[in-house]
Amino acid sequence: MGKSDNVILDKSFEFSLMIIKIYQKLKSKSEFDMARQLLRAGTSIGANVEESLAAYSRKDFNYKMGIASKEARETRYWMRLIQRGGILNIPKEYFDEINEINSILTSIVKTTSESLNK
């Protein structure tokens, strides 16, 4: 399966793969609760983006993208907690990627909300 023309779909999928790597490292350190929390939030971003593509309305699309945005923020929270808590060193590029995903999703939600309110 190759790249699509949908930047946020591709980025969120690739990020999910990155999250799986952190999940596996956390599990190997017996950090099962942290691992599950991060896996759930981090892979939910892409799942909600994927669902938004099958939305039955612009409002439904925006709702799903809004959930993806919230999950991205939660993921960043867990990553920061894991990093700052000294549980695992998470590479800087993972933080760069989640920050970019957050920015894209925020922009999509804001733009869609504005068009719905016209």
Q: Please state the domain extents for the chain.
A: 7-116
Whole-angstrom CA distances from 22 to 9, 46, 99 are 20, 16, 17
Contact between 25 and 88 (Cβ < 8 Å): yes
Q: What is the mean pLDDT of residues 79-107?
A: 96
Coil, helix or strand at residue 90: coil
Phi-psi label, residue 88: left if phi above 0, alpha if psi -120 to 50, beta otherwise: beta
Q: What is the per-residue pLDDT across 95-112, written as a single tens digit (0 to 9) for each?
A: 999 999 999 999 999 999
Binning pLDDT at 50, 70 and 90, where does residue 4 land?
low
Binning pLDDT at 50, 70 and 90, where does residue 1 land?
very low
Predicted pLDDT of residue 98: 98
Mean pLDDT of the chain: 93
Looking at 3.60.150.10, 2.50.20.10, 3.40.50.2300, 1.20.1440.60, the CATH number of the domain 7-116 comes to 1.20.1440.60
Contact between 53 and 10 (Cβ < 8 Å): no
Cβ–Cβ contacts within 10 Å for residue 52, how many?
A: 21
CA–CA distance, 87 with 29 (Å, rounded to integer): 9
Predicted pLDDT of residue 36: 96
The predicted model scores a pTM of 0.90
Angle at CA of residue 66, ends 65 and 69, nearest 5°: 90
Predicted pLDDT of residue 16: 97
Q: What is the mean pLDDT of residues 65-85?
A: 97
Cβ–Cβ contacts within 10 Å for residue 78, how many?
A: 22
